[in-house]
């Protein structure tokens, strides 16, 4: 299953996966991977500068992650360009969800945010 949203001419698509082989449910450790595709569907070039994530874990509590770029990169996306990456999170619960936004700057120095769609993390759905 995948989730996507288009805001400010950026299409953000996320596909989450449960990693059973890396998880230890009896220890309250559930590992999820998510693959992100960022596509510039507009007519202006923009650079991804920052990320802001909300991670909801019903057992471990909510976490906010804020930082520069994505996996050490601040990609520049011309019209039609795509940037893809993979990351992960560890929850204490078998289910939760994530959402947030990426902060971009266009070549004219105007800034904007592109929303990351809310996506569900579910160990049971992944095994079904």
Q: For the segment 93-123, what is each residue's pLDDT rounded down to a tens digit?
A: 999 999 999 999 999 999 999 999 999 999 9
Higher pLDDT among residues 128 and 32, named by residue: 32
Average pLDDT over residues 22-40: 97
Question: For the segment 69-90, what is each residue's pLDDT rounded down to a tens digit?
Answer: 999 999 999 999 999 999 999 9
Separation between Cα atoms, residue 80 and residue 40, nearest integer Å: 5
**Sequence-ordered alpha helix ranges (H) in 1-128:** 123-127
Predicted confidence band of residue 125 (pLDDT cuts 50, 70, 90): low
Assigned fold of 3-127: Immunoglobulin-like (2.60.40)
Show me where the domains of the chain are located: 3-127
* 10 neighbors 115 (Cβ within 8 angstroms): no
């Amino acid at each position: 299953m995948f989730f996507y949203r288009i805001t400010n001419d950026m299409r953000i698509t996320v596909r989450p996966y449960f990693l059973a082989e890396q998880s230890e449910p009896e220890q309250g450790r559930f590992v999820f991977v998510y693959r992100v595709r960022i596509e510039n569907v507009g007519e202006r070039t923009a650079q991804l500068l920052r990320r802001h994530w909300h991670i909801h874990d019903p057992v471990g509590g909510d976490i906010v992650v804020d930082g520069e770029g994505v996996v050490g990169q601040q990609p520049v996306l011309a019209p039609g360009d795509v940037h893809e990456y993979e990351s992960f999170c560890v929850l204490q619960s078998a289910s939760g969800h994530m959402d947030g936004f990426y902060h971009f700057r266009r070549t004219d120095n105007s800034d904007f945010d592109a929303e990351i769609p809310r996506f569900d993390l579910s160990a049971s759905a992944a095994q079904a």
